[in-house]
Each structure stands twice: as C-alpha cells, then as structure tokens.
Chain A
C-alpha cells in the first residue's frame, strides 16, 4: 500500500501507471473475449483474440440464473493462464479488494472491477493505485470514467448492458462519453472548475481531457456487442478495442454452445469469434465486415435491453 500519494494528474508520470498503460496500448484494436473454460480460451486464442476474460458464468447466464456472482475460482483462472499465451484478465466485484489481491497473486494480467458481478461495496471502489496489476473499469459517462481513472484504472470500457446481445446501451454510453469530451474542449480555463464539479471528477483530470480531447487512458467498449457489425459500429464510434462476452459462446440466453463435446457447436463458436476479430481490425471497411458477417454460423438469441426492469440492470452498479 505504498502508492497512496497518487491522485489525479500526479500519477501519470510514474513507472507503475506507464507500465499499466503500456499493456493497455498493446491491447488496442483487438477483441477481448469472455471465456468460462479452457476449451473456450483456446478457441478465443485460435480465433485471434488479444486477451481472454476468465469467468465462471458469462453475463447472460448470471442474468438468467441470478444469485450472487463472484470472482472466478482460482483453479479455473490457473487452468486458463496455463492454456493460452495471450494476456488473461479476470473480474473482481466492485470494492472487493481482497478478490483483487487474489487475482494479482495468481498473475492475472488485467483486473476488471466489474458491475457484471454482484457489488461488494456500495460506496467505495477499489483503490487501484495500491496494485501492480492494471485495472479496467466500466463507465456510462465522463464523470464516472474520470472517477475510476482517479482511483487508478488504466483502461475504461463503456458499460453497455452486459449479457443482452443488445448493443443499444454500449452505443449510448460511448456517444455520451465522446460528446462530453468534445464539450470540454471548447471551455475556457475558468469554466473547467465548474465542469469538474458538474462531472463529479477531479479538476486535474477534467483539465487533462479538455486539453487532449480524449481520456488519459484507452477507452474500450463492452456490453451487448454480439455481431461483427456491432464491433465495427463501436470502433467507428470511438472505441479502441471491444470486449465480447456472451455473444460468442452462448446459444440460448442461459445455455452455452457445447464447444467441448459437439464439433458443430464448436465450429459455430469459432466462426463467431473469428468474424468479430476480423471486423474489429477492419472496422472501416464494409466489404471486409460483410465477408466476415457472411461466414458467421448462428447467433446469440439476445434480450432487448429496453425489456429489462430498471432494478435488473447491471450498468447502474458502480458510482
């Protein structure tokens, strides 16, 4: 816990944050895939994923099955780390720094302090400066993104609504963050103090964003991305990489494709994973996105985000 002097702007020169941002830089322009077992992790790597997120249940299953969603078992995480050569991420509950300590100990490359899991603290997020392992956090707007960055997040992902296969909220959150950043760039110096108050974010970070016209950490996208065109859409809207959760390995909302025993279902997952990877790199080339989409077998059934009751939304977790 030696790093407590860091806050706001002051932390961006340290070697700790530079190494965290360095790995985030390497992950740009790619796809990070949720995986629940070794076989899915291998499929993700073979398809060209830049990283895998190890978890017990993908958001669609957590949503369907209910209960308390926690950090994945260390056994599963170790198996996945051993199975692939690409970086491995894992999720800790919001505010659950002891889960994060376990994940750091296991050698996870990035920790996602995630609203997909059941929050462990209703007031405080994890002090991410206290860790050597970099963190990614979700955000729905600029203020939320900057609060997470102040706490030490080295990567932001728009939240969207996880486990739905409905991209509408990922779009909404990305557009909102981009719009709020643009608005800051035209403000005068004296107006930035008030902007910091309005966004509920540290002044130094608000000023940094106003001058640079972008977040001081990479801005990725997550929550409801299910098709190659969804990925291309988010990249064109300003995402620097996409997270795909339930979209690749799910059949029905609570039933994953059986990639371990059914060769046809394995092929379906491979086709979706490969196509999303291609569309993310070539997001600006509709011909390639069309070809990639054509090669996809089947798709996740999905759940319209508008049909979800307010209390069941995951995106409203975190503050």
Chain B
C-alpha cells in the first residue's frame, strides 16, 4: 500500500494530531502504521515543526472551547492557511467556511458548508462501502453521528459521496472527510493525505 513513500524527502514526515479530545489515538495508530511519526498537539506551541496536521473526530464544541484560549484559534488559522491539514468529522466541521445546525465559529479555511449531526443521532450511525475516486476498489466508510457537506465551492474537488452529498473533499492542501478512516483497516485515505503533503514539497 505504501509505494509512494519512496518519493519522500530526506527525513520521515512528522504529522501532528490535534489531541484536545476525540479519536486522536486511532489517527496516530493509522499514521504510525504508514511509517510516519505522529505527534500529539495540545497547545499552540506544538504546531511548530510538523509537516501536516490531522484534526480528528470528537466534539467540535469542545475543540472550540480550547481553541478560544491562549490564542490557539489564531495560531491554527495561520497554520491551516499554509500547511496541509486533514479534518475528519468534527475536524471537517472546524475546517469548513460555514457551519450550520447550529451556526458556530470555525477556521473557515475550506470552501464548504457543513450541517452538524445531519444524518441523525447515534442510532443512525452506519458503515457503508462504496466506490470512490480513490484507486483500489470500493472504500469502507464509518459514519458516527456524521455531519453533511451541503455546499462545495468551485475549487473544491469531491472524491467520495453518500446519497449525492460529498463525504471526502479536497481543496489545495486541505482534505476533509465526514466519515472516520481511522476506524477502518483501509489506509488509503491517510495515504492520500501523506501523498498530498509529499507532492507539495
């Protein structure tokens, strides 16, 4: 699965995982399995010297409470402007330009509109397997109290959909998924993020 890694730079990639709360461990495990170094990020200072950042699933309202402290939101805003960042579920909500149900603050970096909890409550959580734009056949997608991407801007590329709505999108150096690739054994989505970082360098 890991052929592209031969094109990497002279040192292994260091990927930050925002670890305020949520599925940060599962992402770190997925990254480690792909041969890169995962670094947990809990303070603005820890954003230094990383090649990319994953904002995991969890509760976006909880993330925002921490980001409101110590200038974290400003630091993260500048970071995602220039550095590859991948948001899953709550992370996608944080990256989105607009958030609905309810409206809330975000980094407004990725030109999408996201509706929170749009597929219902936990009882409506589901695992789907469907073809996507990724090579290698159908992709398993784990949706947990998932948000819905209701609008994508002109420069946003849709890589996977559910019922006609985008669930995996890319815009330049930013990637977002409303499902949880860290909860599947398939490494293709994490690999896609690493390729995005390497191809940029």
Interface string of B60-87 (1 = CB under 8 A from A): 0110011001000000000000000000
Show the binding face of A for B, using Cβ within 8 Å.
Answer: 15, 18-19, 22-23, 25-30, 45-51, 81, 85-87, 104, 107-110, 132-134, 274, 277-278, 281-282, 285
Residues on A with C-beta less than 8 A from B183 are 18, 22, 25
Residues on B with C-beta less than 8 A from A134 are 122
- Please name the 4 residue pairs, one residue from A and one from B, whose CB atoms are nearest each other, closest first: A48-B65, A109-B122, A29-B21, A30-B21
The answer to whether A22 and B21 have CB atoms under 8 Å apart is no
How many A-B pairs fall under 8 Å by CB? 107
The answer to whether B58 and A104 have CB atoms under 8 Å apart is no
> A131's closest neighbor in chain B, by CB?
B123
Instruction: Write the nearest CB–CB distance from A112 to chain B, whole angstroms.
Output: 14
Question: Which stretch, B22-30, B170-178, B192-200, touches the partner chain A?
Answer: B22-30
Contact of B125 among A19, A30, A48, A51 (CB under 8 A): A19
Cα of A86 to Cα of B125 in the assembled complex, Å: 15
Instruction: Write the nearest CB–CB distance from A270 to chain B, whole angstroms.
Output: 11
Residues on A with C-beta less than 8 A from B62 are 30, 48-50, 86, 277
Residues on B with C-beta less than 8 A from A278 are 66, 69
A-B contact pairs, 30 of them (CB 8 A): A18-B127, A19-B125, A22-B142, A22-B180, A23-B122, A25-B26, A25-B57, A26-B22, A26-B58, A26-B59, A26-B89, A26-B144, A27-B58, A28-B22, A29-B20, A47-B65, A48-B61, A48-B62, A48-B66, A81-B121, A86-B61, A87-B121, A87-B122, A109-B121, A109-B145, A133-B122, A134-B122, A277-B62, A277-B65, A281-B21
- A27, A29, A45, A285 pick with most chain B CB within 10 angstroms: A29
The answer to whether A19 and B20 have CB atoms under 8 Å apart is no
Residues on B with C-beta less than 8 A from A285 are 42
Q: How many residues of B contact A (CB 8 A)?
A: 35
Residues on B with C-beta less than 8 A from A29 are 19-22, 24, 58
> A134's closest neighbor in chain B, by CB?
B122
Show the binding face of B for A, using Cβ within 8 Å.
Answer: 19-26, 42, 57-59, 61-62, 65-66, 69, 89-90, 101-102, 116-117, 120-123, 125-127, 142, 144-145, 180, 183
Residues on A with C-beta less than 8 A from B23 are 25-26, 28
For the complex with contacts A19-B144, A48-B62, 16 further pairs of A-B residues with Cβ separation under 8 Å are A19-B122, A22-B144, A23-B122, A23-B125, A25-B57, A26-B23, A26-B144, A50-B59, A50-B62, A85-B116, A86-B61, A87-B122, A107-B123, A132-B123, A281-B19, A282-B42
Residues on B with C-beta less than 8 A from A50 are 21-22, 58-59, 62
Cα of A51 to Cα of B144 in the assembled complex, Å: 14
The answer to whether B123 and A133 have CB atoms under 8 Å apart is yes
Cα of A45 to Cα of B61 in the assembled complex, Å: 7
The answer to whether A18 and B123 have CB atoms under 8 Å apart is no
Residues on B with C-beta less than 8 A from A133 are 122-123
Cα of A86 to Cα of B180 in the assembled complex, Å: 18
Cα of A18 to Cα of B122 in the assembled complex, Å: 12
The answer to whether B102 and A22 have CB atoms under 8 Å apart is no
Instruction: Write the nearest CB–CB distance from B143 to chain A, whole angstroms.
Output: 9
Instruction: Write the nearest CB–CB distance from B200 to chain A, whole angstroms.
Output: 29
Residues on B with C-beta less than 8 A from A23 are 122, 125, 144-145
Contact of A22 among B24, B25, B125 (CB under 8 A): B125
Contact of A19 among B19, B24, B66, B142 (CB under 8 A): B142
Residues on A with C-beta less than 8 A from B127 are 15, 18-19
Cα of A57 to Cα of B144 in the assembled complex, Å: 30
